Structure 1
């Protein structure tokens, strides 16, 4: 009752065993890239380089602000109110003169004094002045008088930090 199966060859090997495996196509190479990827790479490198250049330029242009903030911490340790006011006034004037040298359209700051100096400090931050009239009056009085009134140092230091951070020569 063994009837021979017509699909199986007489040697007993299955015809499926004679088939070859499926041939897969070769893997897609990751290189060379298409022109669009090269353009995207060049654009990304250009944006990174431009961003780095702008960041360095900003850091170089604002280096005087960081130096002034460091100087302000040194001035904060001065015990005498008159000397404190003189040093603070000199620091404000040096920062303003530095900005003037970068912008030739600004008025001569070195010659300003009294009301003109106060007006400059009030108007060099735009619509929101960093100083109040009372603190500027106290600063000028303490800097140029032998007997100076008591100063609110914390308020003066805070307003000076704000002025150093926000002043612009374009507002003058």
Structure 2
């Protein structure tokens, strides 16, 4: 028996399908360029905030260290007037960072500047007592309470967000 003749379909001979070569990894598509630019911006902004945060922490540490040095110096010499004057100057220097006229304020204006930092009334009274202590004849005062009050005020005052929030709230009142 012989095999029947194979009939060939009419038309051209077809070959296997060839896929195009894989796309090159360089240059990347525009979406990848935008993603890279976005990541770069995020890294730069993050580095800027980190440096700013570190600088603020460093300044806060230096101011509080200065207060500790004033208290240590007082423990050695016992000079009430020098301690009150130095702490008062420290308060004025820190307040000047946020209120330009803080170094020239007296009385109620100085009280309002100190009150912009959210501290209790007793702390505020102790801070104002420093101003009076400077101009009185040498009299003993509660230096430990004054140092605690100054430290509490400085910790809050050295956080710029505290000042801004209070200033904005008062501006709306």
The structure in which a higher percent of residues are helix is: 2
Report if aligned partners of 1:130, 1:160 keep a CA contact under 8 Å in 2. no
* Residues 1:56 and 1:75: Cα distance change in structure 2 (over 3 Å): same
* Residues 1:110 and 1:76: Cα distance change in structure 2 (over 3 Å): same
CA root-mean-square deviation: 3.5
* Cα deviation 1:71-103 (Å, max 9, x = unaligned): 2232221223332211110011112223334xx
Match of 2:29 in 1: 34
Q: State how far apart, in whole Å, the 1-side matches of 2:81 and 2:108 are.
A: 19
Q: State how far apart, in whole Å, the 1-side matches of 2:34 and 2:51 are.
A: 26
* Residues 1:44 and 1:115: Cα distance change in structure 2 (over 3 Å): same
Q: State how far apart, in whole Å, the 1-side matches of 2:37 and 2:109 are.
A: 53
For residue 119 of structure 1, report the CA deviation from its aligned partner. 2.9
Asked if 1:129 is matched to 2:119, the reply is: yes
Matches within 5 A, 1:38-57: 38-57=33-52
Structure 1: 5+ residue runs without aligned partners? Answer: 1-25, 102-107
For residue 115 of structure 1, report the CA deviation from its aligned partner. 3.9
Structure 2: 5+ residue runs without aligned partners? Answer: 1-20
Q: State how far apart, in whole Å, the 2-side matches of 1:57 and 1:31 are.
A: 37
Q: State how far apart, in whole Å, the 1-side matches of 2:56 and 2:98 are.
A: 10
Matches within 5 A, 1:17-28: none
Q: State how far apart, in whole Å, the 1-side matches of 2:72 and 2:32 are.
A: 58
Match of 1:168 in 2: 163
Q: State how far apart, in whole Å, the 2-side matches of 1:61 and 1:163 are.
A: 12
Matches within 5 A, 1:114-125: 114-122=107-115, 124-125=116-117
